[in-house]
Amino acid sequence: MQISRGEKWFYRINYVLLTLAALTCLLPLMNILAVSLSGNRAVMSGEVGIWPVEFNIASYAALASGSPIIPAFKNSLIITVVGVALCMLFTLLAAYPLSRKAFYLRKPITLAIVFTMLFSGGIIPHYLLVDSLGLVNTYWALWLPVLVSPFNMLIMKNYFEHLPEEMEEAARIDGCGEFSFITKIVLPLSLPMMATIALFYGVNLWNSFFQVLIYINDTDKYNLTVLVQQMVRSTSVLLEFTSLQPDEMNEFPPEGVKAAGVMVLLLPMLIVYPFIQKYFVKGVMIGAIKG
């Protein structure tokens, strides 16, 4: 099919706009990485752009020696991995029954869940509830309130509703039970959707900040997001966390250490995303039904 001249210009303009949009996301990240890998003189004089100047890893060394960055990283992993597993399990347990036509209460329950997306009790009643359950200063205060996201549950529910009924009928004829049908048929066909929702939950839990400040009192339980924010906000906090002396700041630039902390915070999501991206573009029903 021949492309008209107007369509060619339309595609060219789209490519230019998408390239500019990608650069607005990529260039700040490259600048932070370059600052974290540059020398103190170059950073303080403003010579660093998107490439490191006077390359060194002193900022990462200062961050790793004596700072609570490693325990905070472990805390973030625990919050994220356990939280994603719990959220996916309970979201599945909520979405699958509500997608079954045989469940006659699915409409009123779905409306009740949608109602919670429009109205909430607020922060103070939320905190009082968590406190009354004895969950303050535990990670359950971060997991329990977000076990089932109404938005993610509705996405999962609608996806299950559009799976072909013929597959379920064929599975029932072959003697497939409910649990086997979910694990052997529904979940394998739902990998793109499940991976997307897991990424939503993972990013939300990894970046938990306000909830950690409210519910977690023990600083040893702080996650990486809170730690990096405190380091970026105050140089005195940075000195305390990294056990550096003021006269050592010439060798370990504060801006470089802050940038290194930001990169450590961003790195896990940057590593995980390419492995999940393939599910976003993968055909959902390819090979599921022939005929």
The three state secondary structure string of 128-146 is HHHHHCCCCCCCHHHHHHH
pLDDT digits (tens, 9 = 90+) for 105-155: 888 988 988 888 888 778 888 889 888 988 899 999 999 988 988 999 998
pLDDT of residue 140: 92
Q: Which residue has the higher pLDDT, 98 or 47?
A: 98
The Cα 277–Cα 29 span in angstroms is 19
CA atoms within 13 A on the CB side of 26: 7
The Cα 58–Cα 255 span in angstroms is 12
The Cα 186–Cα 183 span in angstroms is 6
Reported confidence tier of residue 88, pLDDT bands at 50, 70, 90: very high
pLDDT of residue 287: 39
For the cut 90, the answer to whether the pLDDT of residue 6 exceeds it is no
Joined together, the tokens standing for residue 170 give 């064929």
The Cα 96–Cα 115 span in angstroms is 19
pLDDT of residue 90: 94
**Domain ranges in the chain with CATH number 1.10.3720.10:** 57-291
pLDDT digits (tens, 9 = 90+) for 147-196: 988 999 998 898 888 888 778 778 788 777 778 888 888 888 888 888 88
For the cut 70, the answer to whether the pLDDT of residue 284 exceeds it is no
56, 39 Cβ separation under 8 angstroms: yes
Reported confidence tier of residue 240, pLDDT bands at 50, 70, 90: low
Mean pLDDT on 212-224: 88
CATH number of 57-291: 1.10.3720.10
pTM above 0.75, yes or no: yes
The Cα 136–Cα 203 span in angstroms is 22
